[in-house]
Amino acid sequence: MAKPYLSVVIPSYNETENLKRGALAEVNDYLQKQDYPWEVIVSDDGSPDEQARRLAEDFCEKTSGFKYLQNDHAGKPFAVWSGIRATEGEIVLFTDMDQSTPISEVAKLLPFYKKGFDVVIGSRGSERKNFSAFRQLASTVFREIRRAALLREIVDTQAGFKSFKGKVAKEIFPLLQVIRSEKNQVEGWKVTSFDVELLVAAQRRGYKIAEVPVTWADRDVSTGKSRGGGKFVKESLDMLKEIFRVKLNDLRGFYK
């Protein structure tokens, strides 16, 4: 069997509703039409929802090219890293289960590798379809503070649609503080700024990064992630704290 050109990693946590509406089938339908070898790793972050785990595992068992990983609950960065470690592809893409950015958008990213780039990320630009006015404002504030501190030339660091040369992903992920640290007690599906640290590490190591506009509209219908307004505010504040931690690490030359 040919070594995959593209490895797709999909972190998963309580995704019952997204799985029932056929999110993985969408991924499979697109990849089956491509002329390159591929693989998909569904990396579950210890979902307490047994139905979510069963649906994902059953799909992977029945579908060629798909593999299911069951992890202890430790947060999205660990689920992504667990999946990346299991990949064999020349290019690795991680994308969200909800397919708010459809897998077909990878066709916009892949040509940049032939242009010499090492990391190619999808960008939602500065607008967010299906975002409330409050979330749009919070996103804008976060983006401007982050750009003042780090990665000024990148508009959107938070889109869950990022690709890397496989060897680059496996080099820079272990540099993340959340990966190096002992696994902390994690409750639910916490949004973090690990994407920012990941891109800073890649940049400081001399890797070329391209940011490519992609289609995005919130399609997440899952109900098991506890995404209330209060949690959103707390996560936003935590993410800003992480930005300054990454900035301090960067000034210390940690990522070089």
pLDDT digits (tens, 9 = 90+) for 89-136: 999 999 999 999 999 999 999 999 999 999 999 999 766 566 667 677
Find how far residue 173's CA is from the centre of its chain: 12
pLDDT value, residue 174? 95
pLDDT value, residue 138? 73
Determine contact, residues 69/86, Cβ cutoff 8 Å. Answer: yes
Q: Has residue 161 got a pLDDT over 70?
A: yes
Q: Which residues pair with 212 in a beta bridge?
A: 122
- Residues 20-27, mean pLDDT to the nearest whole number: 98
213 — phi, psi (to 5°)?
-60, 135
Closest to 92 measured CA to CA, from 185, 10, 191, 12: 10
Closest to 215 measured CA to CA, from 123, 149, 84: 123
Q: Are strands 38-45 and 6-12 parallel, antiparallel or unpaired?
A: parallel
pLDDT band of residue 57 (cuts 50, 70, 90) is: very high
* 238: enclosing H helix or E strand: helix 229-251
Largest CA distance in the chain: 49
pLDDT value, residue 114? 98
Rounded to an integer, what distance in angstroms lies between the CA atom of residue 72 and that of residue 44?
A: 8
Rounded to an integer, what distance in angstroms lies between the CA atom of residue 150 and that of residue 30?
A: 35
pLDDT value, residue 207? 98
Enter the pTM of the model.
0.92
Closest to 19 measured CA to CA, from 67, 63, 51: 51
Rounded to an integer, what distance in angstroms lies between the CA atom of residue 252 and that of residue 204?
A: 12
Rounded to an integer, what distance in angstroms lies between the CA atom of residue 10 and that of residue 41?
A: 6
Q: Are strands 119-123 and 66-71 parallel, antiparallel or unpaired?
A: unpaired
pLDDT value, residue 53? 98
Sheet containing 119-123, strands listed edge to edge, beginning at the edge strand earlier in sequence:
66-71, 38-45, 6-12, 91-95, 161-165, 119-123, 209-213
- pLDDT tens per residue, range 133-142: 767 777 788 8
Rounded to an integer, what distance in angstroms lies between the CA atom of residue 250 and that of residue 231?
A: 28
User: The tokens of 143 are what?
Assistant: 């983006």
116 — phi, psi (to 5°)?
100, 5
